[in-house]
């Protein structure tokens, strides 16, 4: 019998055990007295600078307004005198004792305004020009005087003596005025007021000419103002860089050169307000500018106004209503532009009329847009088409249709708002106005008639539409605009394919049908828009829109034993794949033309097709692919001549390398020639030259075969051979036949319990002993080989100071003929050494303890924690002078964050609930007795959870402090064995601050690509710069910009989704940001 003896003397074992216990007690005492080293505190996260990396002046809070009305403009001052460069206020102020109380029952709204000021002179903001200030309350009343400018409608507080911060809270009443332009008069305005608000400096001839060109005698006063506003909003763009420079100051600029603005066609709000005021004054309409602020964000039911929200608008005096505000500020350059022609139309009740709309996409990429129309009077209005696809810097046409109600009063007016919004970027939108008025005006009715047009038109080809426009008396109508619509149902859902004009009553319009149009039957609708003399009209006809196709044909030119495949691609006229179309193949031998056959199949989703066939003889063949088409799609065909040869295939065998006696073994055989799978090909399967079966490949060129390994099969290496029945082609697959093994153990005490006999026995599937099988005892690091009877006994020392349970594991790692096997045995150990045994050891033990403790105080030992992904470490021990390696098991415990995807780092949001899963490997689940897991965060116990029967536990935790945190879980095991533990690190952040950090880091990384944003640039300008100088993805860059703007400027908190979008977008840019 083979015996493995662990050669250690009892005294030496006892000394080492006592030393280990002493060191453990010393470590515990040291930690109690001195504590663990304190980890440095994480710095509180600070908000990072903006994306430009500049040191910008922070926005200063000026005042608060409630209740909340989005985009509520509050003005603080007005200016009436224009020098040509600067605006001045020349109206007089007077001292008042106190402000009145709110008593007007007709007041529409009452706003409460709170302002903290330490300035000597403070202008009080009010929400509207038609407002009155009342109910003022102060934290101090001494040394304050109140002033009011009744003409300029400006309120002011002056502090005398030492300036102290004072809080002013006051109400503002505002009466909502519905302006009726029929009541507006300029004749009854006092001459003094007209002189003041029609004042003009020396104005250039260009500005004067523009004002006169915009003036229309048919307009009412309100119409003229709206027309001027619309021109300034649609013909100019906003200067973002000038605005950024203006925001660096604490006050709104009040200077503007109107001539420069008209020439450059670019400026900010003060330029637009100045231009509108000067144009109106030239047109003899009194106007002035208003200086104020737009809100920054909403907080606790109040609008907050900051120094960066400065804004200027124009105020126009409209008697009898007083001062009314108009904003002519142009949109940003990237916003779409809409123009309407004409601005105003007059028609009788019950009439139908049209406006021409032109929509320009001013972005550097194509986009889809949607048109929204709204009638103030709720008249019947519609835009056609509602949706448009417009290329970069391209313009598309649309129509606005208005039907005046039959019961509309004469003189009644409707204002229609037309808004165009990007479907890809909903925040990009722009609105304009169109005015329609009901008057007793009769238009001559017309009839639009289509001429002969084709029954069908092909996409990408020219459509020719001709017709006539005649009156009821058959008079030809000249110079009338005609639009051509194609629509399947409603005009609003169609598309404009062309426009033109009638000449002596006839029109002929040619246009190319776009490839993006769907095939099918369409109505062709010519719409004559009408004139000031003639009414609009339309008619309809049916046309069929068809599409062309083309076939691209390919073919392998060599085939195995006559088998092969024809492949190709069926494409639409726009180059996209035609799916699920029936393709026919005609194959004809050129050597014997009478030898031909036909095959058929359907195309795949991408329009490709692959048709397998068999060729009896090698030679030259003509292959013709045919698509027959239908009533809306034209058919197509393609031919190709191919030379067919015989070729040798390859055989691949897939399967395991180990077969077990008495069990089923599976193999998969694949036969192919180059990339052609060979189907229906017979092949033989032999095992050690013994024929087992004949198989045949299926349609995919493969076949799976199974057989039961004989229980008496010889152990060791064997071979499978698969060979074609036709041709000398074969493949070999090596396999080892092995036996299952059985390992049994038993134990017995000897020498009064100081040693333990641990016996093992190993046998095969026929219960025959396995000789010289190496058995490993993991816990003692011993290994030895069995004797001829398959037995092996280990002598193990078992001296213990306290009772303990010992789990012995015996393991056979397998061999060329036998499978591996492991077994475990639990043994209860009792202490056998009494206290007097230790008396001779007291002096050396005390000496060692003093030495170790002194060393421990000087240099605190490091604690090595085992992580969930620790590598296997092997420890070298000696048994009978023979080196044996004892493997240490990997920790089977791990921590999982299901809320954090595998593509993201371990980053989580502060004050957000994080779900945590603790998982124990199933292979050790049955070995544990205790299932309670201790959870520690930053070395503090936060929870104790119990593992389920499946070895899983779940909990959640909310982190309330930013920075890096360490999580550790501990699962105790049986006494005397190390507990299992796992450890993981997590960084907790504010998502908004993390997004800003990632954005700034990306700007630093971009410098290595030669991209250097200037300090004053905004995020959108930086995006444009990157796109102009590199080939980064525009979609990813736009997502990065939007995420940053939300984190930096938005009132809404950044979310986990925003962070993930930012991280993935930057990862997609591949610039090295982590």
| Domains of the chain, residue spans | 335-442, 446-546, 549-639, 650-738, 893-988, 991-1069
φ/ψ region of 84 (left if φ > 0, alpha if ψ in -120 to 50, else beta) reads left
- Which residues 6+ apart lie within 8 Å of 20 measured at CB? none
CATH architecture of 335-442: Sandwich (2.60)
Task: Report the distance separating Cα 748 and Cα 734, nearest Å.
Answer: 45
Q: Are 824 and 795 in contact (CB under 8 A)?
A: no
The token pair that represents 554 in the structure block: 């390919």
The token pair that represents 916 in the structure block: 């945590």
What are the C-alpha distances in Å from 415 to residues 238, 376, 377, 434, 439? 25, 6, 7, 6, 15
Q: Going edge to edge, which strands form the sheet with 952-958?
A: 893-896, 913-920, 952-958
Strand 650-655 relative to strand 804-812, pairing: unpaired
Nearest partner of 485 among 418, 398, 419, 544, judged by Cα: 398
Q: Tell me what pLDDT residue 750 has.
A: 56
- Same CATH topology for 446-546 and 650-738: the answer is yes
Classify domain 549-639 at the CATH topology level. Immunoglobulin-like (2.60.40)
The token pair that represents 527 in the structure block: 């719409």
The token pair that represents 975 in the structure block: 């006494």
Low-confidence ranges of the chain (pLDDT < 50): 1-12, 15, 18-19, 21-56, 250, 557-561, 751-752, 834-838, 858-889
Strand partners, 748: 757
Task: Report the distance separating Cα 1005 and Cα 1020, nearest Å.
Answer: 18
Task: Report the distance separating Cα 26 and Cα 19, nearest Å.
Answer: 10
Query: What is the SS3 string spanning 153-216?
Result: CEEEEEECCCCCCEEEEEEEEECCCCCCHHHCECCCCCHHHHHHHCCCCCCCHHHHHHHHHHCC
CATH architecture of 446-546: Sandwich (2.60)
Task: Report the distance separating Cα 962 and Cα 959, nearest Å.
Answer: 8
Q: Tell me what pLDDT residue 404 has.
A: 92
Task: Report the distance separating Cα 235 and Cα 331, nearest Å.
Answer: 10
**Other residues' Cβ atoms within 10 Å of the Cβ of residue 32:** 8
Task: Report the distance separating Cα 609 and Cα 629, nearest Å.
Answer: 16
Q: Please name the helix (run of DSSP H) or strand (run of DSSP E) that holds residue 1029, with its range, or none.
A: helix 1019-1029
Q: Which residue has the tokens 């102020």?
A: 93
Examine residue 385 and say whether the peptide bond preceding it is cis (omega within 30 degrees of 0): yes
- Which residues 6+ apart lie within 8 Å of 168 measured at CB? 113, 114, 115, 116, 117, 122, 124, 136, 137, 138, 157
| From the candidate CATH numbers 3.30.70.1900, 3.90.10.10, 2.60.40.1930, 3.40.50.300, the one assigned to the domain spanning 650-738 | 2.60.40.1930
Distance of CA 32 to the CA centre of its chain: 51
Nearest partner of 946 among 967, 964, 969, 915, judged by Cα: 969
Distance of CA 18 to the CA centre of its chain: 62
pTM: 0.54
Give the count of alpha carbons within 13 A of 753, CB side only.
11
Task: Report the distance separating Cα 406 and Cα 583, nearest Å.
Answer: 59
What are the C-alpha distances in Å from 873 to residues 125, 717, 811, 891? 75, 33, 18, 11
CATH architecture of 893-988: Sandwich (2.60)
Q: Exposed, middle or buried by CB within 10 Å (0-12, 13-18, 19+), for 511?
A: middle
Cα dihedral 692, 698, 704, 706 sign: negative
């Amino acid at each position: 019998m083979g015996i493995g003896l662990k050669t250690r003397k009892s005294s030496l074992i006892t000394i080492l055990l006592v030393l280990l216990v002493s060191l453990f007690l010393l470590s515990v005492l040291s930690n109690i007295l001195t504590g663990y080293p304190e980890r440095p505190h994480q710095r509180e996260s600070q908000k990072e600078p903006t994306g430009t990396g500049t040191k910008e002046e922070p926005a200063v809070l000026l005042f608060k307004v409630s209740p909340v009305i989005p985009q509520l403009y509050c003005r603080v001052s007005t200016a009436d005198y224009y020098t040509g460069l600067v605006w001045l206020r020349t109206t007089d102020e007077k001292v008042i004792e106190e402000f009145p109380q709110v008593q007007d029952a007709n007041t529409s709204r009452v706003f409460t305004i709170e302002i903290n000021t330490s300035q000597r002179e403070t202008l009080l903001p009010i929400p509207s020009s038609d407002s009155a200030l009342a109910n003022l309350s102060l934290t101090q009343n001494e040394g304050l005087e109140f002033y009011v400018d009744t003409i300029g409608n400006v309120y002011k507080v002056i502090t005398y003596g030492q300036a102290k911060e004072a809080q002013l809270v006051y109400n503002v009443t505002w009466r909502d005025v519905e302006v009726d332009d029929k009541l507006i008069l300029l004749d009854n305005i006092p001459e003094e007021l007209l002189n003041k608000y029609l004042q003009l400096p020396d104005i250039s001839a260009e500005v004067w000419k523009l004002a006169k060109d915009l003036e229309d005698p048919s307009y009412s006063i309100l119409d003229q103002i709206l027309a001027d506003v619309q021109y300034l909003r649609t013909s100019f763009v906003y200067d973002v860089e000038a605005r950024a420079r203006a925001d660096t100051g604490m006050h709104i600029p009040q200077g503007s050169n109107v001539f420069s603005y008209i020439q450059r066609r670019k400026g900010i709000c003060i330029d637009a307000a100045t231009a509108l005021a000067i144009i109106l004054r030239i047109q003899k309409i009194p106007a002035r500018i208003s200086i104020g602020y737009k809100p920054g964000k909403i907080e606790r039911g109040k609008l907050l106004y900051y120094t960066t929200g400065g804004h200027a608008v124009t105020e126009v005096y409209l008697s009898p209503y007083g001062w009314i505000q108009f904003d002519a500020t142009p949109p940003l350059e990237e916003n779409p532009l809409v123009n309407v022609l004409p601005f105003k139309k007059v028609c009788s009740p019950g009439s139908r009329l049209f406006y021409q709309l032109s929509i320009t996409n001013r972005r550097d990429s194509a986009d889809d847009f949607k048109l929204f129309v709204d009638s103030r009077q709720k008249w019947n209005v519609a835009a056609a088409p509602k949706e448009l696809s417009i290329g970069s810097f391209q313009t598309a046409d649309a129509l606005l249709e208005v039907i005046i109600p039959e019961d509309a009063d004469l003189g009644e007016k409707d204002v229609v708002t037309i808004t165009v919004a990007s479907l890809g970027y909903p925040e990009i939108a722009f609105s304009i106005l169109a005015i329609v008025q009901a008057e007793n005006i009769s238009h001559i009715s017309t009839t639009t008639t289509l001429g002969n047009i084709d029954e069908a038109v092909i996409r990408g080809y020219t459509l020719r539409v001709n017709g006539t426009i005649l009156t009821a008396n058959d008079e030809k109508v000249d110079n009338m605009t005609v639009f051509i619509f194609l629509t399947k149902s409603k005009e609003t859902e169609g598309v404009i394919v062309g426009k033109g004009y009638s000449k002596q009553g006839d029109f002929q319009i040619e246009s190319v049908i776009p490839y993006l149009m769907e095939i099918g039957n369409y109505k062709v609708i010519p719409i004559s828009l009408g004139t000031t003399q003639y009414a609009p009209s339309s008619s309809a006809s049916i046309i069929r829109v068809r599409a062309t196709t083309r076939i691209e044909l390919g073919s392998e030119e060599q085939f195995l034993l006559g088998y092969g495949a024809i492949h190709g691609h069926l494409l639409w006229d726009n180059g996209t794949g035609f799916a699920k179309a029936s393709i026919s193949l005609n194959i004809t031998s050129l050597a014997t033309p009478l030898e031909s056959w036909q095959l058929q199949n359907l195309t795949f989703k991408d329009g490709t097709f692959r048709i397998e066939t068999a060729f009896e003889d090698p030679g030259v063949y003509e292959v013709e692919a045919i698509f027959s088409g239908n009533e809306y799609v034209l058919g197509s065909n393609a031919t190709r001549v191919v030379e067919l040869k015989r070729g040798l295939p390859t055989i691949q065998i897939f399967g395991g390398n180990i077969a077990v006696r008495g069990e089923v073994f599976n193999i998969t055989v694949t036969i192919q020639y180059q990339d052609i799978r060979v189907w229906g090909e017979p092949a033989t399967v032999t095992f050690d030259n013994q024929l087992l079966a004949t198989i045949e490949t299926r349609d995919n060129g493969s076949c799976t075969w199974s057989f039961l390994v004989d229980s008496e099969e010889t152990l060791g290496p064997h071979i499978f051979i698969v060979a074609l029945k036709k041709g000398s082609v074969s493949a070999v697959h090596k396999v080892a036949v092995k036996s299952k093994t059985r390992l049994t153990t038993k134990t017995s005490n000897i020498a009064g319990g100081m040693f333990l006999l641990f016996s093992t026995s190993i046998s095969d599937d026929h219960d025959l002993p396995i000789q010289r099988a190496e058995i490993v005892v993991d816990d003692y690091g011993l290994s030895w080989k069995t004797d001829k009877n398959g037995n092996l006994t280990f002598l193990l020392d078992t001296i213990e100071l306290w009772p303990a349970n010992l789990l012995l594991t015996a393991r056979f790692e397998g061999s060329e003929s036998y499978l591996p096997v492991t077994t475990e045995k639990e043994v209860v150990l009792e202490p056998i050494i009494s206290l007097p045994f230790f008396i001779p050891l007291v002096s050396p033990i005390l000496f060692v303890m003093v030495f170790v403790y002194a060393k421990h105080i000087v240099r605190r030992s490091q604690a090595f924690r085992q992580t969930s992904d620790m590598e296997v470490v092997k420890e070298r021990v000696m048994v009978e002078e023979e080196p044996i390696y004892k493997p240490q098991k990997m920790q089977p415990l791990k921590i999982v964050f299901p809320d954090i995807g595998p593509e993201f780092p371990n980053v989580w949001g502060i004050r957000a609930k994080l779900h945590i899963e603790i998982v124990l490997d199933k292979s050790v689940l049955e070995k544990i007795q205790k299932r309670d897991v201790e959870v520690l965060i930053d070395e503090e116990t936060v929870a104790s959870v119990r593992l389920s029967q499946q070895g899983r536990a779940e909990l959640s935790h909310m982190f309330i402090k930013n920075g890096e945190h360490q999580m550790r879980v501990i699962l105790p095991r049986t006494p005397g064995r190390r507990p299992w533990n796992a450890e993981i690190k997590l960084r907790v952040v504010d998502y908004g601050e993390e997004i800003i950090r990632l954005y700034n880091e990306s700007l630093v990384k971009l410098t290595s690509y030669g991209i250097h944003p200037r300090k004053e640039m905004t995020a959108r300008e930086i995006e444009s710069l990157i796109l102009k100088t590199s080939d980064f993805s525009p979609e990813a860059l736009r997502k990065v910009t939007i995420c940053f703007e939300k984190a930096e400027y938005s009132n809404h908190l950044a979310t986990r989704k925003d962070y993930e979008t930012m991280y993935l977008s930057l990862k997609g840019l591949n610039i090295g940001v982590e």
